[in-house]
Structure formats: C-alpha cells, structure tokens
Chain A
Amino acid sequence: MKLMIVDDSNIIRSRISRIMVDARLPPIEIVGYASNGAEAVALFIATRPEIVTMDLTMPEMDGVECTTLLVESDPTARILIVSALSDKATAIEALKNGANGFLYKPFTDDELVNALLELIKE
C-alpha cells in the first residue's frame, strides 16, 4: 500500500518515515511527503496513495480542508489525522469530512504502527 505523509514539520515527516522503515511493514511503502495541504493535493493526484497521515495545522491549506479534497478525489483513501491539537472539535471535524482515524502527537513508534495497521484493516 502506498503511503503519503503530510506534515509541515520536517522532524515529524522524517520521524514517521523512520518508524515505517524500522517497523519493516512490507505492505506499506512511502510514496511522498507534503508540507502543506496544497502540496498534498497535487502529490495525491500524482501518486494516488491508499493511505495518508495528515497534520491539521499547516500553512496555506489546513488539514481539514485538505482531507475534504482528498476524499472527494478518492473516497476509498484512508486518512489518519496526526495532530498535537488540543482542540478535539477540529479533529472531529476532520473525521466528519472523511478522515478515518486520529492519532495524538506526540506518539510512540508502536502507537503509530498500531494506528496504521488498524487503519488498513478491513
């Protein structure tokens, strides 16, 4: 499965990709990184990932709006919101707009891996 990582923090992007490499999950392969919503939409259309990790607070286009656009483009895409947001309402908004799960930042390696495994489970 193809994974796209959307986060404006370089640290988080590399952390997620490092965890994915360490976890050696054969079915998941990272196809791209985006640092804001607009980039994410363009990359999504170009690479067609099945799963996306999505930050909420980003410049230019935020995670809620980006999620909405991605789901419109491909309703089967599975989107995991990964956010440090203390405002639960915004995260719930993202889920209402089509995201499939939520993971709090900061997260441990295991938490991320388990969340992604849960996400791709039928």
Chain B
Amino acid sequence: MSSKSTLNKYLGIIFAVSLFLVFNLAVLGLNFYTSSTLHNDAVSINLSGRQRMLSQRTTKVLLTMQVDAAQGKLDPKNTAELKKVSSLFDTTLNGFKSGGTVVGGDERPVYLEKVSDGVAKHSVDEALRIWQPYKQLLVPVINSTYIDDIRLDMATDYAREHNLKLLKLMNDLTTQLEKNTKTKARNLQLIQTIAMVLSLLLFANIVFNALRKLRSADGEIEKAQRETTEILNTVKEGLILLDPQLSVGSQFSSSVSKILQHEITANMPFMPVLEQLVSAEIYASAKDYIELLFGNKVKESLMLSLNPLTEVKVQTKNDTTPRYLSFQFNRVVEEKRVLHLLVTVQDVTEQVTQAEELSKLKGQSSINLELLKKLLQVDTFQLRQFLNNAQTGLDALNVILANADKRAANQGELANQCFRIIHAIKGEAAAIGLEAIETQAHQFEENLVSLRKKTSWDAQEILSLPVMLSAMLDQIRQIETIVNVIQEYRQVNSSAYKPPTISTSVSNNLKRLAEQVCQNQNKNVELKLNLDLLDRMETKTAHQLQQIAIQLIRNGIYHGIETPSIRLAKGKSAHGEILISALMNPEGAIDFIVRDDGQGIVPSRIRTSMIASGRYSNEIVSQLSDKEIVGKLFEPGFSTADNPDKDAGRGVGMDLVQSLINEIGGDLKIDTKADVFTQFAFRLSKHAKPSINLNATEAVV
C-alpha cells in the first residue's frame, strides 16, 4: 500500500484528533487567562480589605495623637504611622480609581487594576470625595513638628465624622469585588464544564469513528480472506506460498494435497515433501533452484528454463502409474525483498503422455505432421481397408511386372490391369487425403502410359516401375505403423472412442475428394449423399461402392459439370450438384445411383472430342453408332480429356467402374440428357452388361 493512500485512509481520524487538540489548547488558554484575572481579583480584594483596616488605623492614630496633645505630648512614631497609613490608603484608593502599582500586603509592589464595575466604581468615587478633604486635613498634622491642637482637632473631627462612612464604602468595595470574583469563578466553572463536555463528545466521536473504521477494515479483511479461501478451495492447480524458511504458508489450495499425494498443512516444511516425490538428483537441483529464487542476484525470468521441476516424473505409493508434475515458482517481492515464493503445481500427465506419443510417432517415420493430422482425422478402419487394398493391389502389380516378359502375348491387357489397380489406389488415396500416395500413383500411371502403347515390354523399360512400386509399398507400410499406434492409443486412452460408421467415413471421403477435384478444376459442386444403407452391407461391398463413387465423382466433375460461367449462360445455377444414393426398393434390392446435373453425355460432342484428340480418324468416328460411341467410354484407355492430370485423362475410370460392378454383380444403367443430367445407376444383383439410355424419355434396358 502506498503512503498516499494510507494518508487518505486516516485523514478523518487525523482531522478529528487535531480538532480535539486545538480545542483542548483553547480551553487551557482560557483557563490560564481566567486564573490570571482571578489572581488580579484576589489582589484587589485583599487591598480593598486593607483599605478598611487603613481607614480605621488612620482614625485610631489621630485619636491617640489628640489624647497625647491634651497631655502636651507629641510622639513622632504616631506622626510617622499616620503618614504611612494615610499615604498607603491614598495610593491604594487612587489605584482603584485609575490602576497602578501599589505596595502590597507583603510590602512588595503589586499592580492594582482599576475597578470597572459600576457599583465598585461608585464606592471608590464616593470614598475619594470623602478622602480628598480628609487628606488635605492630614497633611499639616503629619508635617507639624509641634503640637498643633487646632489642626489636629480639625482632622480628628473630620475623621470622627467620616470614618464610618469611609469604612462602609471600603467594605462595600470589598463586598462588590468579592461578588464580582464569585460571578467570574462561576462563569469560569460553567465554561470549563461546557469545554469538558464538548471535549468528551469530541473524544467519543474520535473513538467511535476509529472503531467503526477498524470494524469495516476488519470486515474487508475478513471478506478478502473468505474470497481467498474460496479461490483456494476451488482452484484446480496446487497453490502454496513458501516462506524463506521453506515452510508452507497459512494459505494453500485444497487441491495441492491431492496433486502431491501428501497431506499439506500450514507451517509444515515443504522440502521433505518434495524429497519424497522426486529423485535425489532432481531434489538437489530443486533445492538450489528455490534457494536462488529467494536470493536477489539471479533474474527470475533468466532462470525459468532451468527449473528442474518441470514435467517431473513422480510415483507415490498411491499412484498405480507414474504421473508427471510441473512446479512453477514465482517471486512475491516487496520493497526489493523476496518475501515468498508462490508455488503452482499442476498434474501434466496427460500433456506429457500425449507429447510422448507424438514424438514416438515422429520417431518411427519421417512423415510430416500434415500427414499425421490427416491420419488422425480419418477413421482407422477405413485406413486399414485402404492399406489392405493398396497392399494387395501393389503386390498384384509386382507379380504382373515380375512376369511381364513371360506373358508377352497380351501386354495390352496386362497394362490395363495395372492401370485399374493403380487408378483405384490413386482414387482412394485422394479420397482419404493421402496426397503423397496419390502423387506416387499418378507418377506410376504416367510411366505406365508409355508401356500401354507398346506391343511388347522390354525389361529396361519397366525397370523404373518396381522401384516406384517399392517406394509406394514403403510409404504404405509407414502409414500402417502410424495407424497401428493411433489405434492402440485410442484403445488404451479412450474406451469411449467409437469409430465412425462406414457410411459416415465414406461420405467424408467422398466430400473431401469432391472438394479437391473442384478446386483443381475451378468448379463448384455440391455433393448430396444418402449412403446410410452402406452400414448394412458387407464391408467389402461398401468399399467397392466407394471406389465406384470415387471414379464417377471425378468423371462427373471433370466431364459432366460445366464451369460456373457456362452454367450461368445455360440458365443453370452456378453450383453443380452431384447426388449419390443407395436406396432400397420394395423388393429389398439396393439401387446405387450417381447423378449429376451437368452437360450430359452427348454423342456428337464425344465424336468431336475424339477427332480433336487426334487419336481417332474422322472415318472411324463417323462409322460408329451413338451407342457405340458412348460404349467407347467404358473401353480401357479411352479418354476425351485434353491434358491428362490427376483427376482425369487416362481413360481408366469407367473401365474400373465396370470391372467393380462386375465384381459386385449388377446391371449398370446410364441415363443422360444433353445439358440436363447424367445418371449412373445399378441394382446390386448378378452382373450384366451395361445398358445405355441416351434420352431419359426413352426407357432402355
């Protein structure tokens, strides 16, 4: 807390206490002032009392002198006393009148204040009026060195006549002064009482405010403590505050005992707990590390990477398998001193195991992360199916290639077989998203192309093929290893993991493929799938249907669906649509249908393309009927594509479709209408030759 906010917090109290002190000082000052005036009053009262005595003495001395004079005596002592008392009376009375220093009762000079009160003033004035002639009469008596009977008698007569009056006046003065003083003392008492009460009130107010502040501060502290406790009770991480003695502070999160598998209590030493958890070596480093953190010399951020307690392996007697814990230490610094270390403990077993699995995968093959990500997305069952097929296919290719020279008779058919196998692998690889295999298969196809044209293969020419084949097999095996690890991991780590259904994974594959082909061909196609029935089929059949769909989607997008601008010109939506469904008819047979809303199969266009490709002469093309022209589509090696690429152009696709349908058993029916649609449909039953309907309005079987 900064000193400024502390000042603000106590400003009220400081103000109240200052007020209290100022007030008390004022009362004290008033007391001093009053008691000093009371002292003056006492002097006045005292002196006015003395005036009574002096007037009496004056009279008495005069009478004594008169008696002495009758006997002819003159005592100088009496004269001297008369002089003294009369002069004392005179100065004192004048002092009362107008203030001044007079001789006090103890013969010392005191200051006498003039009387201000009306009654007292009157007494003084009256006394002065009597005293002035009296004083005049006394002067010759005092100054006479002989017995002056006449003057003495005059003074004595005056004294007899006025003495009582003078005495009364001085008495009145005394009484009045006493009265004034009493009033003053009473007022002073009243003021003091009031001041006392006020000061008590002020004091009570200070105490009350202070108490209230304390109480509310206590309340805030209590609230903060409650909140801290709540946080510490709910937080998942283990939190501990360590003091420089390496003891656990009074507050720590409740999860910490569970994470450390050790009952943590306040003020317990922390290091023995750690010692039980980790190896002696790590413990020693950790101890040094923590001690360095309590020092000031090393920068916290420049030693983070040395924390020996990150992902540290622990196994307590309660742990069936090893766990991994990460301890994080943060300095709690106040005024450049490290007061505490905040220790955060987390159980990172899951993260560490996952990372280990990943690095195991990486260690087993040099396959890039992108592939790994794809493999994790694809259903392992599907992957296995693909790997099996690919393996079988590649093995078969191997056999064909190995025996190539011995079967010189039907080289063309052998090449077509090779094409079918590699094309199926390519299509599936593309559908699953295994680009590396797709590319390899594509290169393999390119090498096969040249062979297809030859009537006989020589060993030199096919030499490159087995090399490529073995590279593909290697790749397949690598993927298989990864798939095994993934499957194992899923089985071990998640009993809840359910592989997706066949229909789901086939749908996903087909969507992925369509997306990729569309991207390559710059076309927009929406794929509509209804393949739930695949779940009820034998896996093999479902898989064959997927392969058929793969080829027909490729063809549909490449040949059927027009580019968006052409579609718009034809008055169609820019988006093409391919519908693939497996439907059960009332008799329980399943119809598999692939339909696109593209340009249709138009014999005249095929003729033009055939001539344009340069592979067919005008003459041959004109001799063929429309049905024969369309039938050409199913011939191995037939293609109208301009530039063979990954998606089309080898003239393998329809050949493959036909041979797959033959394997499943069924009749392929093609319906098409120029610029409207093309539909491939077949009923899963015994196989038959494909029937072709060039116009949807005519039913052709």
Please report A residues at the B interface, Cβ cutoff 8 Å: 80, 88-89, 91-93, 95-96, 98-104, 115, 118-119, 121
Contact = CB atoms under 8 A, between A and B. Distances in A.
Given A89-B308, A92-B288, A92-B289, A101 B302 contact: yes
Contacts of B285: 88-89, 92
17 contacts: A88-B285, A88-B308, A89-B281, A91-B306, A92-B292, A92-B306, A92-B308, A95-B292, A95-B298, A96-B291, A99-B298, A100-B302, A101-B298, A101-B299, A102-B303, A118-B301, A121-B299
Given A88-B308, A102-B303, A104-B305, A93 B298 contact: no
B284 interface: yes
A91 B303 CA distance: 9
Contacts of B281: 89
A118 B302 contact: yes
Contacts of B307: 88
Given A89-B284, A92-B288, A92-B292, A103 B302 contact: yes
B297 interface: yes
Given A88-B307, A119-B299, 18 more contacts: A80-B302, A88-B285, A89-B308, A91-B306, A92-B285, A92-B288, A92-B292, A92-B308, A95-B292, A96-B291, A100-B297, A101-B301, A101-B303, A102-B306, A103-B302, A103-B305, A118-B299, A118-B302
Contacts of A100: 297-299, 302
Contacts of B299: 100-101, 118-119, 121
Contacts of A89: 281, 284-285, 288, 308
Contacts of A92: 285, 288-289, 292, 306, 308
A24 to B, nearest CB: 22
A78 to B, nearest CB: 9
Given A96-B288, A96-B292, A88 B306 contact: yes
A92 B292 CA distance: 8
Contacts of B298: 95, 99-101
A98 B297 contact: yes
Interface of B: 281, 284-285, 288-289, 291-292, 297-299, 301-303, 305-308
Q: Which 9 A-B pairs have CB atoms at the shortest separation, nearest pair first?
A: A101-B302, A89-B285, A92-B288, A101-B299, A88-B306, A95-B298, A88-B308, A118-B299, A91-B306
A119 B292 contact: no
Contacts of A115: 302
Contacts of B292: 92, 95-96
A89 B309 CA distance: 12
B305 to A, nearest CB: 5
B305 A102 contact: yes
B302 A119 contact: yes
Nearest to A115: B302
Nearest to A122: B336
A95 B281 CA distance: 17
A51 to B, nearest CB: 12
A80 B302 CA distance: 8
Chain A CB count within 10 A is highest, among B285, B302, B307, for B302
A113 to B, nearest CB: 13
A45 B299 CA distance: 25
B108 to A, nearest CB: 74
B220 to A, nearest CB: 34
A96 B292 CA distance: 7
A93 B534 CA distance: 66
A93 B285 CA distance: 9
Contacts of B308: 88-89, 92
B616 to A, nearest CB: 63
